[in-house]
Structure 1
Amino acid sequence: MNSFFERKYIIQGVFIAVAIVIAARLFYLQLIDESYLLSANNNVLRKMVIYPARGVILDRNGQVLVQNEPVYDLLVTPREVKDIDTALLCELVGIDKAGFDRRMATARSYSPYKASQFEKQIPSTAYAKLQEHLYKFRGFYVQNRTVRSYPDSIAAQFLGYIQEVNDRDIERSKGFYRPGDYIGASGVESAYEELLRGQRGVKNVMVDAFNRPQGVFADGKYDTLAVAGDGLVSSLDKDLQILAEKLMRNKIGSVVAIEPSTGEILTFVSSPSYDPNMMVGRERGNNYMKLLYDPHKPMFIRPIQAQYPPGSVFKVVSALTAQQAGLIDQHTVFNCPGGYRYGGGRAIMRCTHVDGPIPLITAIQRSCNTYFGYTYARMIDHRGMPTSEAYTLWREASMKFGIGHALGIDLPGEKSGLLPTSDFYTKRYGNAKWGSGYNISLSIGQGEMGITPLQMANIMAIVANRGFYYRPHLIKGIGEKKIVKPEFTEKISAGVDEKYYEPVVEGLSRAVNVPGGTGYAVRIADIEMCGKTGTAQNPHGADHAVFFAFAPRENPKIAIAVVVENAGYGGVWAGPIASMLVEQYLKDTITLPKYIQDRIHNADLLPKPKVEKPKETVRTAPQRDPMPPRKPDEDVQFIHHSLVAINRYD
């Protein structure tokens, strides 16, 4: 009996102990440990991601180029969707029933239990209507965010665009990006992504059974604030950019203007362009495909990716490097009988006129091909060393002017241009016994040479500075402190002493300001602009019109290069565009005759669509084996494959 009572007390003691433990645990869970409270409340809490505003981009004078505007993403948690009016939701969002089913299937495949995007970038006007009925759609809620807005619809290729991240972006970011985030895809948006993007925040919101917000959970104790991205001050002059884009409308080509004393890019035009607002909103995908398949390639960034034979701008480089090498000086005279003969006199590189004895300054003023043919021959054939070594020295001197390598602009996708090595010609001709006659077209910036419009403008900046340049760049200040990247403050020498620039500058001044100069028609009253027209050879069609200049002569404020593809003479098309931009920037006015202004504004130089003719069946003769390559010691050594007697005049 006593044993029974002892067991009774033991069992009662066990129950009491268990009850005490359970009570203590409940007390701890409910009153002390708030993490369990948070977990229990997950069914009535909504974790709202707070997307930061991307940094605003301003022009050099503080005018807005890119800003943000609010949009709304509609999110869905498939598990929670019950008994909703599908037709009403489709009407409010602007989709059909098939679109609804497709979006729901995508959300379920992602996760039935987690929220995912149902419809992106709903504009404010549509959201206002949706918000009134949102409580009717259980399982749906709205996520606030911002997208880019471009008030003036300019500088599309410079500014770039943003797009939703893909799996590769997420992987490369090591988890920073999540599905639904946006990332800079091109232009400045891409180059400065880490500064512009900011930092996400999280807000815990309490909701009722109808998905209506009921306030912030725990007074925001578990929230994190979003941090806006850094703002950028660009080097662009917005008003000058707008004018340049108007002047290049219905034309293919580029305009690049640089402030020589800083390397800051004042104007950056790639034409044809497009409205950057096309790359924002719910029609972005359709617009992107239209631009991608546009035959005029508006998404091609011509200032840094198009590569043209430089034409006359290279004569400036040739004059400077030859002086530095001690092979010519400003008093050196060559006789121009109407062309430069080479290959034993059996081939000729023509001028359009006979100059007779001509010195360096006049050769630049009149763009004499003959003079620079002789100059190149001295650089390659008369240096007392093997041709390949002399050519290498010539090439290295030319590259110091930013030719044949990327300049390092703060945009992705910059091309280096082309300046072949001596090995290229040795391989082409089968041995090293070649001389200047084999690539004489390089002497006037033709042949295999190719440079970008940015490189053309930079050459003018070098001449304006009399021997140096700062790396061209598009962002002059980062954040509130307007920080400048150190690589854009480095002074880079072009390798030619200052004293050799004066005759070149004088020649460029006479080309514009003296009657008979190739650019005299586009001179500017009260401003001594130093420049040069050019006609860049185009093996695929009509030649490209080129004009490059800087102004004023002393203490230059602007260096510019204009390329208009397939337009012919530089003085007719590229020159007036450059002249108007230079005068507008320096004087805030344009005095070029109105009929010239109207001609530029109204011209449509876009290539017309080709009409394919019906194919005819023709009989062809049997094909012969191709001729073997000729050797340099054969009689035809002087014929250069890319130079057909050049009879144009810059």
Structure 2
Amino acid sequence: MNEQRPITIIIVIVLIGIVLLTKLFMIQVLDDSFLKRAERNAVQRLVDHPYRGLVYDRTGKILVYNNPIFDLMVIPKEFDVKDTTRFCEIFNIAKEDLIEKYTAARKYSSVKPSILIPQVSTTEFAKIQDYLIDYPGLFVTTRSVRSYPQASAANALGYIGEINARQLERDTVKYYRQGDFVGLSGLEGFYEKELRGLKGVKYKMVNVRGVDKGSFKDGDYDTASVAGRNLTSTIDLELQLYGEKLMEGKVGSVVAIEPKTGEILAMISAPTYDPNLLAGSKFGSNYGVLNKDEKMPLFNRPIMAMYPPGSIFKIVQSLIGLQMGILTPNTTYACNRSLVACHNHPSPVNLFGAIRNSCNPYYHQAYRAMINQEVSRNTFKDTEIGLDKWRESVLLFGLGSPLGIDMYNEKGGSIPSSSYYDRIYGVGRWKYSTIYSLSIGQGEMMVTPLQMANLAAIFANKGYYYQPHLIKAIDGDHTKIREEFRTRREVGVDAHHFDLIQDAMAEAIYGTAARAAIPDITIAGKTGTAQNPQGEDHSVFVAFAPKEDPKIAIAVYVENAGWGGRAAASTASLMIEKYIKREVERLGLEEYVIAGKFM
């Protein structure tokens, strides 16, 4: 029995040895996971950021391009600073910021690079490049920021900024990493996927001290970045710049559209700002200043500001009344000022005269005929039914909801329904006398300047429109723009009804907006004065031209500028002249608008 014990021990030792050798063989030969871990410790992964796509105006002029900048990177394990004060002076960084950035980098990884100082300009880089060799663990990577040669169309183009935690959570494909830059507003935000391109990756070998030992496996695993796609905007830069010049020192907006396509020719939000302020390392401080500015330059008025349409809406009322059969060209009402105030003009008037003279009592009576059609024995119920039927027609004109422009945060305005008044007054406790202000575009009705410009395009097209949009082509291909921007939308009014409307709008220029008349160009337009409880009324004007073959439709809002025939009509007229003739000959009118003394 004792003689067999050594044999048993030997067998056990041999079996254990076989197991260990088998395990070692599997680790070293069959399983490469440990090899990969070792390689990861010796390989640095560097992201090659692509250039964002460029943005051009409709004529090929550059609106947005890329300016190279540098990120100063740090590898915490290798980083060593003996004189912190001197380092902060050389690299223009506060000591507190240096400590904060270094601590965050070390928390992320002691051997992987992190951004220490982002967005170093070429000028700043020239000052620090000779010092980099003195600080182990520091190196630079190249990326780019946006630049704007004309400092124009800031609210339309938008800006880019560092991605935030919420956006990272929504990134289901995990394209972005902390520190990446994304489009945050305007075209930059809406077309982020097209503009951002594809990241590249480069792997390089480093020893335990972080010294560069060349490409990993001769660059077999490297991938090149792919630049973003270029966008051709619908904006006419020359017209955009001229509109911004006219609106300087004022509050309001101008939107000009090519009627036959829905392409936005100019979109001015006043006051505006230099988009270069929100590019580069000063983004945070500059954004804070702009955001606190009481004039709200970051507020995109063409798509976000909402106003009563005022008398402009009388054109829509006329068209709906004609389509319903409630109105005809010969429908005549007296200018009864006991119903609602009006200005001096001949009375009574037919529909043509009502448009030409902007007669408030006419539309008070016409709207009542549309709403109260005696389809119910109950007057309150009759008004409710009539209002909702009328509202369905109004919504077809692109009012009451966002039009769907290729920008985020577009507001839809408001066209009130019977349920709206039920909530305010109670069911069966309101009637026509409650809502009559809607007849002349006042009361609870609200629209955006973009919607008003789209109305002008509808009037020009005799009953249809294309969704207003800001991009004409992607990488030079016009078919790559979204299908909804190439889809014709009808408003449900027969084309022949627009003949009278267009004729009356052309005559209205000489009745309420004589300043807007242009020699050799027939303008069809309508003035408006939107009531403003907080101060002076807003000046409003919509128009299209030439009447015979419309090339431009436009809406102008100038806040607190009073009557629409002055500020808004004059501004729109100059914009039309600039676009069609490419130069402005009425220099006196131009001086009047630039001076801005409308009241």
TM-score under structure 2 length normalisation: 0.91
Equivalent residue letter for 1:523 = A
Alignment of 1:527-542 (within 5 A): 527-542=521-536
2:91 alignment partner in structure 1: 93
Q: Distance in 2 between matches of 1:96 and 1:288?
A: 20
Q: In the TM superposition, what are the counterparts of 1:330-409 in structure 2 within 5 Å?
A: 330-337=329-336, 339=337, 341=338, 348-385=339-376, 386-409=382-405
Distance 1:34 1:435 in 2: 81
Could you tell me which runs of 5 or more consecutive residues in structure 2 were left unpaired when the two chains were aligned: 1-6, 377-381
Separation in 2, partners of 1:323, 1:507: 14
Quote the Cα distance in structure 2 between the aligned partners of 1:79 and 1:144.
22
User: What does the per-residue CA deviation read over 1:300-330, in whole Å, with 9 as the maximum and x for residues that have no partner?
Assistant: 1111111100011100000000000001111
Aligned position for 2:171: 173
Partner of residue 57, structure 1: 55
The 1:604/1:117 distance shift into structure 2, 3 A limit, reads farther
1:496-545: per-residue Cα shift (whole Å, max 9, x none)?
10111111111100012x4xx11112211100010012110111111000
Q: Distance in 1 between matches of 2:233 and 2:52?
A: 15
Aligned-partner residue type, residue 575 of structure 2: L
Partner of 2:290: 291
2:527 aligns to what SS in structure 1?
A: strand
Range that drifts further, 459-468 or 187-196: 187-196
Partner of 2:448: 452
Asked if the contact 1:169/1:177 (under 8 Å) is kept, the reply is no
CA contact (8 A) 2:567 2:598 kept: no
Which secondary structure does the structure 1 equivalent of 2:556 belong to? Answer: strand
Partner residue of 2:223? 224
2:115 is matched with which residue? 117
Aligned: 1:489 with 2:486: yes
The 3-state SS of whatever aligns with 1:196 is: helix
Residue 503 of structure 1 corresponds to which residue in structure 2?
Answer: 500
Matching residue of 1:82:
80
Query: Residue 634 of structure 1 aligns with which residue?
Result: none
Report the Cα distance in structure 1 between the residues aligned to 2:385 and 2:411, rounded to whole angstroms.
26
Deviation at 1:590, TM superposition (A): 1.1
Q: 422, 428, 432: which is aligned to 1:432?
A: 428
Assess, with a 3 A threshold, how the Cα gap between structure 1 residues 355 and 434 changes in structure 2: closer, same or farther: farther
Structure 1 residue runs without a partner (length 5+): 1-6, 342-347, 607-650
Give the distance between the partners of 1:35 and 1:107, measured in 2 at CA: 27
Find the residue that maps to 2:127 and give its secondary structure: helix
Name the counterpart of 2:196: 197
Between stretches 43-52 and 441-450, larger displacement belongs to 43-52
- Give the secondary structure class of the aligned counterpart of 1:120: strand
1:416-438 CA-partner distances (Å, limit 9, x unpaired): 10111112223433342643222
Q: Are residues 1:603 and 2:590 paired?
A: no
Rounded Cα–Cα distance in structure 2 between residues aligned with 1:86 and 1:222: 38
Q: CA offset at residue 186 of structure 1?
A: 1.0
Give the equivalent residue in structure 2 for 1:302: 301
Q: CA, structure 1 residues 326+109, in 2 after alignment: closer, same or farther (shift >3 Å)?
A: same
Residue type of the partner of 1:603?
G
Q: Which amino acid aligns with 2:56?
A: L
Task: Please give the secondary structure, in 2, of the residue aligned with 1:81.
Answer: coil
8 Å contact kept, 2:545–2:552: yes
Q: CA deviation at 1:140?
A: 1.5
Aligned residues: 580
Indicate how the Cα distance of structure 1 residues 44 and 254 shifts in structure 2: closer, same or farther if over 3 A, else same: same
Cα RMSD for the two superposed structures: 2.8
Classify the secondary structure of the residue corresponding to 2:303: helix
Q: Deviations over 1:137-174 (max 9, x none)?
A: 11122121111111111111111111111222112112
Alpha-carbon offset, residue 445 of structure 1: 0.3
- Asked whether the 8 Å contact 1:335–1:355 carries over to 2, the reply is no
Aligned partner of 1:313 in structure 2 is: 312
Q: Which residue of 2 aligns with 1:136?
A: 134
> In the superposition, relative to structure 1, how do residues 364 and 83 fare at CA in structure 2: closer, same or farther (>3 Å)?
closer
- Cα offsets for 1:544-564 (capped at 9, x unmatched): 001110001122111000000
Secondary structure at 2:232's aligned position in 1?
strand
Match of 1:550 in 2: 544
Q: Distance in 2 between matches of 1:97 and 1:600?
A: 51
Cα drift, residue 81 of structure 1 = 1.4
What SS is found at the alignment partner of 2:348? strand
C-alpha distance in 2 between matches for 1:132 and 1:44: 27
Partner of 2:265: 266
State the SS of the aligned residue for 1:600. helix
Confirm or deny that 1:276 pairs with 2:275.
yes
Q: Is the 8 A contact 2:334 2:347 kept in 1?
A: yes
In structure 1, distance between residues paired with 2:427 and 2:97: 67
- Pairwise mapping of residues 235-254 of structure 1 onto structure 2 (< 5 A)? 235-254=234-253
Give the CA deviation at 1:211: 6.3
Contact 1:92 1:126 in 2 (8 A): no
Equivalent AA in structure 2 for residue 537 of structure 1: Q
Please state how far the C-alpha of 1:383 moved relative to its aligned partner: 4.9
Change over 3 Å in CA distance of 1:377–1:126 after alignment to 2: same
Pick closer, same or farther for the CA change 1:442–1:572 going to 2, 3 Å: same
Q: Is the 8 A contact 2:567 2:596 kept in 1?
A: no
Change (3 A) 1:207 1:124: farther
**Partners of 1:252 and 1:565 within 8 A in 2:** yes
Q: Matched residues in 1 for 2:206 and 2:88: separation? A: 24
When residues 110 and 216 of structure 1 are mapped into structure 2, their CA distance, relative to the original with a 3 A threshold, is closer
**Do structure 1's residue 418 and structure 2's residue 414 form an aligned pair?**
yes
- Provide the rounded CA distance (Å) in 1 between the counterparts of 2:278 and 2:227: 22
C-alpha distance in 2 between matches for 1:381 and 1:550: 33
Deviation at 1:493, TM superposition (A): 0.7
Could you say what secondary structure the match of 1:334 adopts? coil
State the AA in 2 paired with 1:364: I
Check conservation: 2:78, 2:210, Cα contact below 8 A. no
Task: Report if aligned partners of 1:460, 1:559 keep a CA contact under 8 Å in 2.
Answer: yes
Measured at CA, do residues 87 and 426 of structure 1 come closer, stay the same or move farther in structure 2, by a change above 3 Å? closer
The two structures have a TM-score, normalised by structure 1, of: 0.84
Letter of the 1:389 counterpart: I
